[in-house]
Amino acid sequence: MTIKTVSVLGAGVLGSQIAFQTAFHGFDVIAYDVSREALTKSHTTIAWMIEQMAKDQTGTEYDFDAAQQRIGFTTVLADAVRKADLVIEAVPERIDIKREAYRKIAAVARPETIFATNSSTLLPSALAEDTGRPDRFVALHFANEIWRHNVAEVMGHPGTSPEVIATVTQFATDIGMVPVVLHKEQPGYVLNSLLIPLLGAAAKLLGKGIAAPRDIDRTWKIGTGAPKGPFDIFDIVGLNTVHNIMASGDPEERHFAELLRENYIDKGFLGVASGRGIYQY
Ligand SMILES: NC(=O)c1ccc[n+]([C@@H]2O[C@H](COP(=O)([O-])OP(=O)(O)OC[C@H]3O[C@@H](n4cnc5c(N)ncnc54)[C@H](O)[C@@H]3O)[C@@H](O)[C@H]2O)c1
């Protein structure tokens, strides 16, 4: 099957980036959201992405304009998915919201349309039945700042057809991604299976008073050649989000969450986005 028309459901942080990346590579895209406000915000996200891509010299003004012409926006679900060969779902990371969204799209999409979830933590097998087409359902997981961090993890569930995996993998290549096909379902895919333990270990090293953030980062960067250390990554993710995740972890992670709140968050140091976090920007 050849993909020509793509629908992106949920035009938030990732959905907007997926929509623009796909249009930039020549596909017709329809971005759908339940909220009009979200669609307005999506234009701002896309404008920001264009600015960043221009800085990275990833395209010309002509390319960006042409890509924008290829994206339509709607709050009418049937209009969004009727013609789609592929629907990429990027609605909030809540199983109840995703299950309901799949039941609704299943009712209006063509039976041959492939559905792909961008979920970070849910396994496709948990949603497959709601899609009404388990064999044509797969996870296609992108990373934030999609054009820069252009890895796309393709992960089926036991019932996904090999042809669908192949089609989606080709599509990922066609939109400028480096596709990585997982052989089995894995919570957190490859990327987060590697990243989360690293971040957890860094949090514990700091919490136990073993070394300062800068030295923990320096050790990792110099010792492995990685461009960023765990505390650089915490600042990019945003310290409020990191706090919320760590606050529900084990006692050492909760201790780290407390340190973050006292030393950074309460002082307004929230990460890169606020100009200061663990580091000053
Ligand atoms: N933010 C990231 O860095 C990142 C990275 C990889 C994967 N993801 C995954 O992408 C998905 C979306 O994350 P996000 O950060 O873009 O979230 P977000 O909150 O920025 O966007 C979600 C959008 O979905 C809309 N929405 C809610 N219910 C909907 C429905 N039923 N149908 C259509 N739209 C609906 C919301 O109005 C919102 O605009 C999640 O599954 C998340 O795990 C996020």
Question: For the range 47-55, what are the long-range contacts, defined as Cβ-Cβ under 8 Å and sequence gap of 24 or more?
Answer: 49/16, 49/17, 49/20, 49/147, 50/20, 52/145, 52/147, 52/148, 53/24, 53/147
pLDDT of residue 143: 94
- 191-274 CATH: 1.10.1040.10
pLDDT of amino acid 248 = 87
**Domain residue spans in the chain?**
5-181, 191-274
Give residue 93 CA to ligand 1 midpoint distance, Å: 7
Would you state the pLDDT for residue 241?
A: 83
Name the superfamily (CATH) of residues 5-181: NAD(P)-binding Rossmann-like Domain (3.40.50.720)
Instruction: Indicate whether residue 97 lines ligand 1 (CB < 6 A).
Output: yes
pLDDT attached to residue 71: 98
pTM, to two decimals:
0.91
Q: Looking at residue 153, what is its pLDDT?
A: 98
pLDDT value at position 273? 82
Ligand 1 binding pocket includes 186 (Cβ within 6 Å): no
Best of 7, 8, 9, 13 for a ligand 1 pocket test (most atoms within 8 Å of beta carbon): 13
Instruction: Please give the pLDDT value at position 237.
Output: 85
- Tell me which residues of the chain have a pLDDT lower than 70: none
